[in-house]
Amino acid sequence: MARGALADNLTALAALAEKGVVSGAVARERTLPVLTPFVDLLPHGALQRGSVVGCHGVAGVSLAIALAAGPSAEGAWVGVAGMPGLGVAAAVELGVAADRLVLVNEPTGSGADGTRFDDARWAEVLAAMIDGFDVLVLGPGTERVRAGTARRLMARLQARGAVAIVVGAPDAGPFGTDLTLQADSSQWQGLGDGHGVARGRRSVVQVAGRRVPRPRRVALWLPGSEGCITTIEQPHGTVVPLRPTG
């Protein structure tokens, strides 16, 4: 091939790079896919790599697992810390791949179990998890991490492009969230007074955060009768938020 054509191509490439053109493929790699019910709820319809998402409210744990299920089904690994009692059966029903799930269990500090993690140990554990897994689910056990440590970890999270999903009371933990999902007004269906069995929970999830100018809401089965998450079709458009009384 002619040397001249090669040089022309190289100049064209350099010009493209200066403009900061990002191909579609690269832009897609900056997000992690989510399950269908979350597509309309989240900004850009996906989880932004490097972001911290808070899941609060009565259905917070189910919500966090359901958020992690999208990337997990697409081949991502999910690391869980600070939440020793995670129900694997529920996670599998919500769509998490059990073969790519790892749990780090903090010793209880009683008996021969070993001492609880101090701040430095938590920093090492979480750093290793950030390096290795695309999605981290952080339970109340990680709330003891110091604010300075948490800031360093979040910088690492952004550099590596993982996503942290924090479960617990709002503002309880040291991790500043980019996006919060609040799951409230939980109504269990199927349970009577001494009869029936719980078949599903209607839950209203509200999203707020920096990139969400107006809070968005959606009504979900979280979980539904098969344990999976589905959107509840609203006959009258959006859900009218309930006003607190008293």
Partner 1 sequence: MASERVPRLGVLWCPHWPVVVAGAVAGEPVAVVHANRVIAHSLAAAEAGITIGQRRREAQACCPSVRIEQHDPMRDARVFEQVVRAVGVRVPRLEVTEPGLLTFVARGPARYFGGEAAMAEMLVQTAADALSGTSLGGTSLGVGVADGRFAAVVAARRSSRAGRPLVIEAGQPATAEFLSRLSVRWLSVVAGVPADVVHLLQRLGMQHLGAFAALPEADVLARFGHVGAFAHRLAGGGDDRLPGTVDPPAGMQVQQVFDEPVHHSDALVFVGRQLAEQLVGALAADGRVCTRLLVTAETEHGEQSERLWYRSSGLSAAAMVERVRWQLDAWAQHEALTAGVMMLRLDPIEVCGDDGVQLGLWGGRTQADEWAVRAVARLVAVAGEQQVLVPAAQGGRQPHDAYTWVPAITADLLEPAERLAMPAGPWPGRLPSPSPALVHDPPAPLSVVDAAGQVVRVTARGGVSAPPVTVTFGVRGTIGGSVERVQSWAGPWPVEERWWDATRTRRIARFQLLTVSGRLLLAVVERGTWALAAEYA
Residues 39, 90, 212, 219: which binds partner 1 (CB under 8 A)? 90
103 vs 212, which CB is nearer to partner 1?
Answer: 103
Of the candidates 34, 79, 74, the one whose C-alpha atom is nearest the C-alpha of residue 220 is 34
Contact present, 37 and 229 (Cβ < 8 Å): yes
Using rule CB under 8 A, residue 62 touches partner 1? yes
User: Of residues 67-86, which lie at the interface with partner 1 (CB under 8 A)?
Assistant: 73-77, 79, 83, 85-86
Q: What is the spatial distance between Cα 78 and Cα 162, in angstroms, rounded to a whole number?
A: 10
Q: How far is CA 161 from the centre of its chain?
A: 13
CB of 111 to partner 1, least distance (A): 13
Separation CA 23–CA 21 (nearest Å) = 6
Q: Which backbone phi and psi does 168 adopt, to 5 degrees? A: 150, -170
179-191 and 196-209 beta bridge pairing: antiparallel
Q: Do 184 and 204 form a contact (C-beta atoms < 8 A)?
A: yes
Which stretch of DSSP H or E encloses residue 187? strand 179-191
Does 125 interact with partner 1 (rule: CB under 8 A)? yes
User: Site for partner 1 (CB under 8 A): which residue of 44, 159, 226, 241?
Assistant: 226
The C-alpha angle 72, 76, 78, rounded to 5 degrees, equals 70
Quick check: 149 binds partner 1 (CB under 8 A)?
no
Task: Compute the least distance from the CB of residue 178 to partner 1, in Å.
Answer: 22
Q: How far is the CB of 113 from partner 1 (least distance, A)?
A: 8
Least Cβ distance, residue 242 to partner 1 (angstroms): 13
Is the separation of the CB atoms in 52 and 178 below 8 Å?
Answer: yes
Can you tell me which of 15, 27, 102, 159 binds partner 1, judged by CB under 8 A?
102
Contact pick of 42, 53, 101, 154 for partner 1 (by CB under 8 A): 101
225 is a contact residue toward partner 1 (CB under 8 A): yes
Give SS3 for 157: helix
* CA-derived radius of gyration, the chain: 21
Q: Does residue 124 interact with partner 1 by CB under 8 A?
A: yes
Residue 56 CA to residue 42 CA, distance in Å, equals: 16
| Shortest spacing between CB 128 and partner 1, in angstroms | 4
Q: Does 106 bind partner 1 (CB under 8 A)?
A: yes
Interaction of residue 22 with partner 1, rule CB under 8 A: no
Residues that bind partner 1 (CB under 8 A): 1, 5-6, 9-10, 13, 58-62, 65, 73-77, 79, 83, 85-93, 98-107, 114, 117, 121, 124-125, 128-129, 131-134, 186-188, 191-201, 223-227
